[in-house]
Amino acid sequence: MDQPVTREWMQRTFEATKNWGRWGAEDERGALHFVTSRKRAAAAALARDGVAVSCARDLPVEASIENPSPALHHMLVAGDAADSVMPGVGATMDFIGVAFHGMATSHLDALCHVAVDGRIYNGFPVSEVRSTGARRSSVMVIADGIVSRGVLLDVPRLRGVDWLEPGERIAPDELERAETAQRVRVEEGDVLLVGTGRDARRGAQGPWDPVAVGLAGLDARCIPWLHERRIAVLGSDGVSDALPGAGIEGWPIPVHQCCLVAMGVPLLDNLALAELARACAERGRYEFLFLAAPLRVPGGTGSPLNPIAVF
């Protein structure tokens, strides 16, 4: 971590990690190309214990300081009127609504979610994301789901703490030390999940405002490392970026900017990783079959979802 992150460094790094054109001028799939059939089959072979673990938080229907726009869960027909739907049988129904790109909803960011200098991944203008939906790199590109090898790097465990404090930054060498400690190596096509202990802190101290107070995450210096390793997807119990940003003008969320826009790596934000970390620690195994299936939303910029790890 000797080299300071400057605006110039960010610009160079953005250019250096660009996968634009790598899979053709019309490509909207980005780093998901790293997930081959062979990769998926190898990932499935990891599910030898047959134990499934959810990596999502509950849909945040209650307002809280970390969640200024709560999701809507409305019962349309409850037990009191269950007989009103059809004659002779009771039925209950509900409605779900969610502005999922918040700080408390487990969600997928499609590649069209972020733009740098007016461009999304592969150089398409952000104006392609219209008020009626995205015409490029929408979540529909990921309609067949993400099925690959998942790897959890559990940073609080490496540091011997319960959680990282808001704003703390994880350096690339720390990712490598976590690999060594956990006897696992992040490889091409992996879904890399980085745990910061957010749930543990929330359990102990209650929720906090991620914008005002911050979130632990990756230092921008991890970006070249993520690129070298050719990960397909990056996820975190935070938002992968450390908040607040490092104060580099134009680069408030460098991991989002470089992953989504330069590399074409979709992100999984606000996951629940405590249970997963326990399952890994129990087994001394930090690799697993990972599955995430966004809703098929034409023109969508992402999706709420419930990723599942299978050991």
Site for a second copy in 236-275 (CB under 8 A): 249-253, 256-257
> CB of 2: closest distance to a second copy in angstroms?
26
Q: Applying CB under 8 A, which of residues 86, 160, 205, 284 lies at the interface with a second copy?
A: 86
> CB of 22: closest distance to a second copy in angstroms?
22
Q: What angle do CA 130, 140, 256 make, to 5 degrees?
A: 70
Asked if residue 167 binds a second copy (CB under 8 A), the reply is no
Which range of residues in 119-127, 164-172, 195-203, 224-232 is near a second copy by CB under 8 A?
Answer: 119-127
In angstroms, the CA 10 to CA 265 distance is 17
Q: What angle do CA 155, 161, 163 make, to 5 degrees?
A: 65
21: left (phi over 0), alpha (psi -120 to 50) or beta: left
Instruction: Indicate the length of the chain as a whole number.
Output: 311
Asked if residue 15 binds a second copy (CB under 8 A), the reply is no
Asked if residue 191 binds a second copy (CB under 8 A), the reply is no
Asked if residue 233 binds a second copy (CB under 8 A), the reply is no
Q: Binders of a second copy among 18-77, rule CB under 8 A?
A: 36-54, 56-59, 61, 63, 68-70, 72-77
Which CB, 16 or 75, lies closer to a second copy? Answer: 75
In contact, 189 and 149? CB cutoff 8 Å: yes
Which CB, 179 or 306, lies closer to a second copy? Answer: 306
Number of residues that bind a second copy (CB under 8 A): 105
Asked if residue 284 binds a second copy (CB under 8 A), the reply is no
- 122-152: b (≥16 Cβ within 10 Å) or e: bebebebbeeeebebbbbbbbeeebbbbbbb
In contact, 288 and 311? CB cutoff 8 Å: yes
Structure tokens at 116: 């740098």
Which CB, 206 or 250, lies closer to a second copy? Answer: 250
